[in-house]
Amino acid sequence: MDWLVTATGAALVLLILRDVFHTLWHPTRHGGLSRLVMTTLWRLSFALGTRRTAAGLAGPLAMVSVVALWALTVAAGWALIYWPHMPDAFVYAGGLQPDDHAGLLDATYVSLVTLSTLGLGDVAPAEGWLRLLAPLEALVGFALLTATVSWILGIYPALARRRALALRLSHLSRTHPSKEQIDSPAGAAMLDGLATALSVAAVDFLQYAESYYFHDGDDRTSLALQIGYALDIADEASEAGHRDVRLAATVLRSALEDLAGILDERFLHTQGPPRQALDAFARDHGRQAGTGDRALP
């Protein structure tokens, strides 16, 4: 029975390590637990009346929840590993009665102290394999801290790139360049720049899938709400007389199709054409029919 409890604890630790690996270090996958937490909080934001306020909190709150889930589950797993072997396999500081400090709560205390690398030393493993295991937990705790910081440092630049692209599309939409302006070398360069930025956004959604669950707030910086103009201008430029503009329009269309495919496969599941997937992207990020926003054509 003791070894069954230990095995359960080890399984919990391995489950979390797998989730951390697929969330942070496997760029084309998304951890099962982290995705479940983020998707649940994102969907819950739909049920609240203040849609934008709730959605704006969904991404940051989901990241905090995922990190807390990782840390607490790892601590619980190691506590289950230690618990069956207390007090015999541990040494206690003077003044502590081993039999009085051998419960699950004490095992959790030892696990948390080790995971946080505090190393207080009042309860320490004495048996050989446990003496090797405890430093391993400390290494996992340090790795979790480092991974969390790296995750944050990766997510927010990806969000900045996405919002900058949306603002660029907003600028174009508000200035509305004429057909003559688009049908020029400058128009071809503009379309190439949009295609490049869309490709970067697509890679960001692959590598930082969690960024999908961050609401962009202002309509001008929301890619979901501005992406329709990129479709419009690609259609318009495909009929231009300048061959470089037509080529750039084809590249832009391909970039839009790739982005729509990634969003549909990983988040939306419409299994429809790119325009349908991007329309679902806009709805999922807060635009509802009849709100006064320009609808996707």
Q: What is the pLDDT along the chain (297 residues), one digit of tens a residue?
A: 778 998 999 999 999 998 888 888 776 565 678 888 888 888 887 666 555 555 577 888 889 999 999 999 999 999 999 999 999 989 999 888 888 888 999 999 999 999 998 878 889 899 888 888 899 999 999 999 998 898 889 899 999 999 999 999 999 999 988 888 999 999 999 999 999 999 999 999 988 888 998 888 788 899 999 999 999 999 999 988 899 999 999 999 999 999 999 999 989 999 999 999 999 999 888 654 333 343 333
Structure tokens at 20: 């951390």
The answer to whether residues 255 and 195 touch, using CB atoms and an 8 Å cutoff, is yes
pLDDT, residue 27, reads: 60
Beta-carbon count within 10 A of 258 CB:
17
Q: What does DSSP assign to residue 101? A: S
In the block, residue with structure tokens 């084309």: 28
Angstrom distance (rounded) from CA 113 to CA 146: 18
| Helix 185-207 with 128-175: angle, nearest 10 deg | 150
Distances in whole angstroms, Cα of residue 154 to Cα of each of 16, 97, 158, 225, 272: 20, 47, 7, 23, 31
Q: Quick one: pLDDT at residue 117?
A: 83
Q: Which of 213, 193, 200 has the alpha carbon at shortest distance from 55?
A: 213
70-98 pLDDT, tens digit per residue, is 999 999 999 999 999 999 989 999 888 88
* DSSP secondary structure letter of residue 29: -
Give the CA count within 13 Å in the CB-facing half-sphere of 57: 10
Strands of the chain, DSSP E: 90-92, 123-125
Query: Is the whole model's pTM more than 0.85, yes or no?
Result: no
For residue 273, whether the previous peptide bond is cis, meaning omega lies within 30 degrees of 0, is no
Contact yes or no for 292/270 (Cβ under 8 A): no
Which among 247, 249, 224 is positioned nearest to 236, based on CA atoms?
249
Partner residues linked to 124 by β-bridges: 91
- What's residue 296's pLDDT? 38
